[in-house]
Amino acid sequence: MTWSDAQQYCREKYTDLATFESVDDIKRLKPHFSYTWAWIGLKDDPKSWKGVMGNDTNSWRWSATSKTSKTGYNNWKGGDPNSGGGKENCVIMGSTGGWHDVSCQSLRSFVCYTGKKRSEFMDSTYWLKLKLSLFVGISNRFQTGFKTYVTHYTDLAMIENAQEQADLLSAVMSIGIVWIGLYRVPWRWSDKSSSSFRNWLSSKPDNYGGSQNCASEDSNHLWDDASCGDKLPFFCHGKINV
So what's the pLDDT on residue 235? 96
What is the predicted pLDDT for the residue at 123?
A: 41
With a CB cutoff of 8 Å and minimum separation 6, the contacts of 153 are: 112, 113, 114, 120
Helix extents (H) in 87-161: 142-152
pLDDT at residue 62, as a whole number: 93
pLDDT of residue 153: 58
pLDDT at 89: 93
CA distances from 132 to 64, 107, 112, 145 (A): 11, 20, 18, 21
CATH class entry, domain 3-44+188-202+214-237? alpha beta
Give mean pLDDT in consecutive 10-residue pieces for the chain, a chain of 242 residues.
98 96 90 91 97 95 92 96 94 94 83 57 34 29 38 74 90 81 94 95 95 96 98 90 49
Structural domain boundaries in the chain: 3-44+188-202+214-237, 47-183
